[in-house]
Amino acid sequence: MGLKAGKSKYARKTATMGDNWKAMNPVMKSHYKSEMDKLAREAGKTGVRASRVTAYETGLDATSADDFKAAVTGKEDKWYDNYVAAMFT
């Protein structure tokens, strides 16, 4: 897939991103602590701070599907620019 096709795909996907956000919210919550605990152990620590878990979950709860969809809709140019800037010299 070329870059222009990727940009178009991003624009099309925004129609379902809010619903996907809502569906994945519980999954994101259930995986966050265990995955962050793994990173903590890699860093020689025992686990992620409880306050970080609470902040993460509070942030997820505060963002509705409509809010998330509104935040990503129309951002295909930004996606494209960021992708190109990150990937190529």
- Report yes or no on whether pTM surpasses 0.95: no
Per-domain residue ranges of the chain: 3-87
Give CA–CA dist 30/17, Å, rounded: 20
CB atoms within 10 A of CB 46: 8
pLDDT of residue 1: 79
Question: pLDDT under 50 in the chain at which residues?
Answer: none
Q: Is there a contact between 59 and 51 (Cβ–Cβ < 8 Å)? A: no
pLDDT of residue 38: 97
